[in-house]
Structure 1
Amino acid sequence: MKTFFVDGYNVINSWPNLKKIKEFSYESSRLQLIDTLQNYSEFKGYKVFIVFDAHMVKGSIEKKEKQGNLFVVFTKEGETADNYIERTVNNIGRKSEICVVTSDSLVQQVTFQRGAIRMSSIEFYYEVISIEKKIQIKTEKKYLEKRNSLEERIDEKTLEKLEKIRRNL
């Protein structure tokens, strides 16, 4: 299974839609990112870790929440998202396919040296937008398949009568 590590605040500050939400509330932009990546991870079947910095929060301990294939991580006091991602990728090593999403070139370089694929936040944005379109098409297709037309639900005789009424015959 492919695993993604996403620098949460780096993505929020890079994606146009999340930047706008962030102006009003970081919490709202975090929730939107989590919701978006929940759909992405389920559709693609990938394990996704969204890592948020909590290194400036006094007394903060590392917190992890799991929602399906999505893991939301808040780092502990004194640890940045970059540190967490580098450490975790280093521990996993080259055992599985890993992609690190950040626009921080130093983190990209370090994680690449440890066997991970790197993707910028804006590249990931376009990847996610593409998947959202596929999800929408799949959902619409499912809806249309389940839809029953009137012609399918009534008998021929009634259908003929309704047609005559429609044409004023």
Structure 2
Amino acid sequence: MKTIFVDGYNVINSWPNIKPIIDYSLDSARQKLIEIVQNYAEYTGNKVFVVFDAHMVKGSIEKKERMGNVVVVFTKYGETADSYIERAANNMGRKVEICVVTSDLLEQQLVFQRGAVRKSSIEFYNEINNVNSKLRKKIKKRNSETKNRLEDLLEENILEKLDKIRKSH
């Protein structure tokens, strides 16, 4: 299991399926990102921190909410998502495998120096799409294997009678 830190607003502004939602509601865009990441974390077993800046919200305190393998973090007043991620990656050291998702090049360089793997927002978007594709195939296969058809459940003589009725109409 690896630990992934996602720069929430950076990802929202980079992903083509979430960016248009911002026009309607930033809260909706955040919820959509969290939902997508929850599915990803559940499938992969990775622990994911989705970090949102609240550094411009006066009086804001750091808030964390755990949802399965996903921890949603709103930073405290005066702290950016970047600085939270840097601090958390530094505190974890090299004890766990860490991946940071951001398209901020400076942030990528800083976390790389701390031993974390860096991934751009678009690379993560593509990875999630691949995971979703695998999941859909798995579900489709499972559904096709467990599909109960009427022909499989009825006795032969009843099927013949139904077939005669169908042909007569």
Give the TM-score band, short-chain normalised: over 0.9
Deviations 1:4-47, CA, capped at 9 Å, x for gaps: 00000000000011110011111000000000000000011110
| Residue 53 of structure 2 is aligned to residue 66 of structure 1 | no
Aligned residues between the structures = 169
Report the secondary structure of 2:138's partner residue. Answer: helix
TM-score with structure 2 setting the length: 0.95
Q: Aligned residue for 1:77?
A: 77
- 1:33-48 counterparts in 2 under 5 A? 33-48=33-48
Cα distance in structure 1, aligned partners of 2:66 and 2:146: 32
Q: Aligned residue for 2:125?
A: 125
Root-mean-square deviation (Å)? 1.3
Report the secondary structure of 2:56's partner residue. Answer: coil
- 1:2-41 counterparts in 2 under 5 A? 2-41=2-41
Per-residue deviation, 1:164: 2.7
Equivalent position amino acid for 1:53 in 2: D
Per-residue deviation, 1:147: 2.1
Per-residue deviation, 1:168: 3.7
Equivalent position amino acid for 1:29 in 2: A
Equivalent position amino acid for 1:44 in 2: T
Deviations 1:61-106, CA, capped at 9 Å, x for gaps: 1100001000000000100000000000001011111110000111
Cα distance in structure 2, aligned partners of 1:73 and 1:145: 41
Per-residue deviation, 1:141: 2.3
Per-residue deviation, 1:146: 2.8
Per-residue deviation, 1:140: 2.2
Equivalent position amino acid for 1:154 in 2: L
Report the secondary structure of 2:29's partner residue. Answer: helix
Cα distance in structure 1, aligned partners of 2:139 and 2:52: 31
Stretches of structure 1 lacking an aligned partner (at least 5 in a row): none
Higher mean displacement: 86-95 or 125-134: 125-134
Stretches of structure 2 lacking an aligned partner (at least 5 in a row): none
TM-score with structure 1 setting the length: 0.95
Report the secondary structure of 1:59's partner residue. Answer: coil
Cα distance in structure 1, aligned partners of 2:35 and 2:145: 26
Report the secondary structure of 2:143's partner residue. Answer: helix
Cα distance in structure 1, aligned partners of 2:58 and 2:44: 37
Per-residue deviation, 1:144: 2.4
Q: Aligned residue for 1:87?
A: 87
Report the secondary structure of 1:38's partner residue. Answer: helix
Higher mean displacement: 141-150 or 14-23: 141-150
